[in-house]
Amino acid sequence: MNFKTIPKNGASWRNPLVYEVELTEDDGQVDIEIYDHISAQVIGGVRLYAQGVVEVDIVPYIRSMLPKNSSLQDTSEIINISPDACRVSLRVSDVETEPRLFFRENITDLESQILSSLVEEATIANGEVIRLTAYAKEYLRVTLIRPTVSGGINGYSYRTNGLPCEVIVPVRDAGVGMNITVMIQCDSERAVSHSYRVVKRENTAYRVAWENSRGGMECCTFPQSIQLSSQVKTIEVEEEVGWHREVVGSRSVRRLLLLGAKQREINRVLGLLLSPRLYLCCKESSMPVRLITDTITYDEHGKLRKLAFDVEEEWGGGGQICA
C-alpha cells in the first residue's frame, strides 16, 4: 500500500482533508492510525479492506480532539500554540506520511506575519485581555512595554516549529491613561507594534472577540449596549415542605452599539458578520454567543456611521460570567 495523495500543509480543517490510500490485493486488512504530533497521541483509526484507491477524510477525527467552543484560551503564558492548530500524520506499520499542519483557516501559502489586524487608537480596560494571533515559521518574539517603577519592559521568545500562536496579555492594575505596547516579531520580519490606551469602561460596555478570515483573533469593545430580551428556564422541584421553582438556565438578547468609529475600524468590525465563532468577553473569562444580525444598513450616502449587532447569550446554570 501507499499514500497516493495527502492534503496541503496549512490547510483548514473546516474543509475536507482527504488522504488517498492505494491498496493492492496483497495488502489485505490495513489499519491506519491518525496521530497528532502536538498532543503526542493517536486521535483516531481507520480499518480498510477495499482494493484500489480509498479516500480517508480525517476532519471528523481532528474536530473530535479540538477544544469545544465553550470559551477562549485562558492561560498564564504570554505566547501559546493556538488550540485550533494540529500537526497530523497517518501511520501504517512502518509507513508514515509527512506531518501536516492544519488550522482553522487556510494558511497554505502564508509567510510569517501577524494574522490579527493592526488597530489604530485601540483602547483597553483593567480586567480585559489583549488577544493577537501570529504565524512564524521558526521564532516568535513578543515585547511588552508597560510603564512601571521597575521599567516595565518584558521580552518573550518562543520556538513555534511552524505553528500558529496566540499572544494573550491580561490587563491588570493599569492606570487610566497609561499606554501598553505589544511588539511582535515573526522570525526576521520587522517587528510590528500594537498600542493600547487604558480607559475606564462604562457598565454598558461589552467586549467581543471573533476570528477573522485569516484565522487571527480580533477584539472590539462596544461602548454601549441595550438589553433587548431575557428568557428564563425553570423547573419545579419537590421537597418535603412543598414545591419550589428553580432557575436552570436563561437566554438573553443584547444589542451592541459602536458609534463614531473611523471607517477603517468599522470595516474591521464588520468582519464579525462572516466569522464562524463569536465570544463575549467579561473580565478574563469568555463565553460563546450567537450573532443574530445578518444585515447591515448603509445611509443614503452609502456610508456606515454606526454599527449595531444583536447577539444571543445562553446560560446553562452555575455562575454567569457577565452577571
Domain hosting residue 311, numbered range = 201-323
Asked whether residue 134 is assigned to any structural domain, the reply reads: yes
Q: Give the H/E segment covering residue 229.
A: strand 224-239
Do residues 204 and 189 touch, judged by C-beta distance below 8 A?
Answer: no
Domain boundary among 200, 225, 253: 200
The CATH number of whichever domain residue 138 belongs to comes to 2.60.40.230
Q: 314: closest CA among 252, 239, 236?
A: 252
* pLDDT tens, residue by residue, 225-264: 998 988 888 888 887 777 888 887 788 899 999 988 888 8
Domain boundary among 168, 200, 232: 200
d(C-alpha 13, C-alpha 66), whole Å: 10
Q: Is 100 exposed, middle or buried, given 0-12, 13-18 or 19+ CB atoms closer than 10 A?
A: buried
d(C-alpha 191, C-alpha 112), whole Å: 11
Structural domain total, the chain? 3
Which cell numbers hold the place of 130? 489583549
SS3 annotation, 48-103: ECCCEEEEEECHHHHHHHCCCCCCCCCCCCCEEECCCCEEEEEEECCEECCCEEEE
Q: What is the pLDDT of residue 69?
A: 65
Q: What is the pLDDT of residue 1?
A: 83
Does 277 share its domain with 264? yes
DSSP state at residue 247: E
Q: pLDDT category, 282, cuts 50, 70, 90? A: confident
Identify the residue with better confidence: 309 or 304. Answer: 309
The CATH number of whichever domain residue 15 belongs to comes to 2.60.40.10
Does 92 share its domain with 130? no
* pLDDT tens, residue by residue, 151-161: 688 899 999 99
Asked whether residue 78 is assigned to any structural domain, the reply reads: no
